[in-house]
Amino acid sequence: MAKLTISDLSLKDKRLLVRVDFNAPQDKQGNITDDIRIRASLPTIKYALDNGVSKLILMSHLGRPKGEIKDSLKMDKVAARLEALISQPVLKLDDCVGEAVEKAIADSREKVILLENLRFHKEEEKNDSDFAKGLAKLGDLFVNDAFGSAHRAHASTEGVTHHLKSAAGFLLEKEIKYLGDTLANPELPFVVILGGAKVSDKIAVIENLLPKAQKFLIGGGMAYTFLKAVGVEIGKSLLDKERLDFAKNIIDLAKKQNKAIVLPVDHIAATAIDNPGSAQLIKGLNLPSDLMGLDIGPRSIEIFKDELKDAKTMLWNGPLGVSEIEAFSRGTKEIMTYITELDAATILGGGDTAAAASLFGLTDKITHISTGGGASLEYMEGKTLPGIAALSDK
């Protein structure tokens, strides 16, 4: 069933309560080091302001305060960054529920109001009904634009929908379109690129997408469990021993279904991640016992490109090497650059993959980069996310 979106709501003179994901990374001084999550909700914020809301009340969590007030996790610096981005004043409140908050909103001259960190209250993560009711009292309508929290049934994502007409913001709508609709019915050929460290993180994704995708290109640390499963010597490379049988079964199942599992045929290896000076090319499949594979090699890059050239839909989760270290970044960088040149829908899921796109200056050339970590994985696994399921149906 299709869900209401912000475009379906009549916003004029309404108090609009919006759940955003302003969980921005900070340094030890509390300064925001990356505002991509704040920027991601700007289309929804600007649309609400352009369409005549009387008040725009924004709510988010920041970090993991576990129900305690922590000065380092207050929303003040987030409010300051938002104010700069939208070029208008933002009133930041000292709490998120209660009579004082209700009065401050009613009396405020500012149109945009940011509530204090939701997770200063234990009731938020417990999805406490009274806490959800307290949040709902602040608005006439509710919009969820926090995909990164959509896999959690919290008071601000699921509980509040029991009291207000609820819709998806533009960011959430985009995530539903690409991670939901596109992956449910992808234009073929559909190729999945998987990397990152652990096989265990990707088991459900592989199982969900195996019937839909024609090819899986596997790199990163997880490739070595698959290589070990087919008898390759992997030296000191990352190995998920408990998943060896799973890897072998997937390879066998893919063969039966005429699906391709493409693994690296050469490697950039080193004695340790923190010793990039020891990086060397291993031209064959097998790795010496004293080295660990930390990136795919040049032959693997060319094979991966060849497998991708005809793709119409691509999903990528997890870098193909330790992409934040230059010596081990070539595989991820070259393949990511290559897919931006193809006539295909390119979808990146997961924080490390998004960080790689940003590092290589490719963010604007990707069709869709998911803003959710755990939420992205669960959606790709085919799970129902409570923060989406709870929204009002069209």
Q: Are residues 42 and 142 in the same domain?
A: yes
- Spatial neighbors of 356 by CB under 8 A, at least 6 apart, are 319, 323, 324, 329, 332, 333, 336
The CATH number assigned to the domain holding 184 equals: 3.40.50.1260
Tokens at 367, concatenated: 């069709």
Same domain, 164 and 49: yes
Quick one: what percent of the chain has pLDDT higher than 70? 100
Q: Does residue 7 surpass a pLDDT of 90?
A: yes
Assigned domain for 388 exists: no
**Interior/surface letters 308-317, b for 16+ CB within 10 angstroms, e for the rest:** beebebbbbb
What is the biggest distance separating any 2 CA atoms in the chain, rounded to whole angstroms?
70
Are 58 and 154 members of one domain? yes
Does residue 351 have an active-site annotation? Answer: yes
Check whether residue 163 and residue 184 sit in a common domain. no
Q: Tell whether the model's pLDDT for residue 371 goes beyond 80.
A: no
In a domain? residue 201: yes
Within 10 angstroms of residue 273's Cβ, the number of other Cβ atoms is: 13
285-331 tens-digit pLDDT: 999 999 999 999 999 999 999 999 999 999 999 999 999 999 999 99
- Do 161 and 194 fall within a single domain? no
Q: What is the DSSP string of 315-382?
A: EEES-SS-TTSGGG-HHHHHHHHHHHTSSSEEEE-SHHHHHHHHHTT-GGGSSEE---SHHHHHHHTT
| Overall number of domains in the chain | 2
Claim to verify: residue 147 and residue 186 sit in the same structural domain: no
- Final residue of a domain: which of 139, 170, 201? 170
Which residue among the candidates 351, 365, 373, 382 is catalytic per the annotation? Answer: 351
Domain boundary among 123, 142, 170: 170
Range 54-82 average pLDDT = 96
The pLDDT, as a whole number, for residue 159 is: 98
Based on the fold, state whether residues 82 and 136 are members of the same structural domain: yes
Report DSSP state, residue 200.
G
Using the predicted structure, report yes or no on whether residue 376 has a pLDDT greater than 90.
no
pLDDT in tens, 227-258: 999 999 999 999 999 999 999 999 999 999 99
pLDDT, residue 180, reads: 87
Query: Is residue 169 within 8 Å of 142, Cβ to Cβ?
Result: no
Residue of 180, 373, 374, 382 marked active site? 374
Q: Which residues contact 67 (CB under 8 A, 6 or more apart)?
A: 119, 120, 121, 122, 125
In this structure, are 55 and 153 located in the same domain?
yes
> DSSP per residue over 205-237, as a string?
HHHHHTTT-SEEEE-TTTHHHHHHHTT--BTT-
Q: Give yes or no: residues 283 and 367 share one domain.
A: yes
Residue 81 among the catalytic residues: no
Residue among 77, 198, 248, 309 flagged as catalytic: 198
Is residue 389 in a domain?
Answer: no
* Spatial separation of the C-alpha atoms in residues 301 and 292, rounded to whole Å: 18
Q: Confirm whether 286 is domain-assigned.
A: yes
Whether residues 161 and 200 share a domain: the answer is no
- Say what the pLDDT of residue 380 is: 87
Evaluate whether residue 390 is within a structural domain: no
Residues 232 and 154 in one domain: no
What are the two backbone dihedrals, phi and then psi, of residue 306, each rounded to the nearest 5 degrees?
A: -65, -40
> Residue 1 domain-assigned?
no
List the structure tokens of 147: 């995909």
What range defines the domain where residue 363 resides?
179-380
Could you tell me whether strands 267-270 and 292-296 are parallel, antiparallel, or unpaired per DSSP bridges?
Answer: antiparallel
Closest C-alpha to 215, from 344, 101, 68, 92:
344
Tens of pLDDT, residue by residue over 342-359, are 999 999 987 789 889 999
Question: 138 with 244, same domain?
Answer: no
Looking at the domain assignment, is residue 165 inside a domain? yes
Q: Reduce the DSSP state of residue 111 to 3 states and report it.
A: coil
Residue among 45, 53, 67 at smallest CA distance from 11 = 53
Q: How far is it, in rounded angstroms, from Cα 55 to Cα 111?
A: 5
Q: What is the mean pLDDT of the chain?
A: 95
pLDDT at 382: 86
Percent of the chain with pLDDT over 90: 86
Q: For residue 262, name the pLDDT band (cuts at 50, 70, 90).
A: very high
Q: Which of 37, 74, 174, 243 is catalytic?
A: 37
SS3 (DSSP) at 18: strand
Residue 394 lies inside a defined structural domain of this protein: no
Last residue of some domain: 170, 191, 210?
Answer: 170
> So what's the pLDDT on residue 1?
57
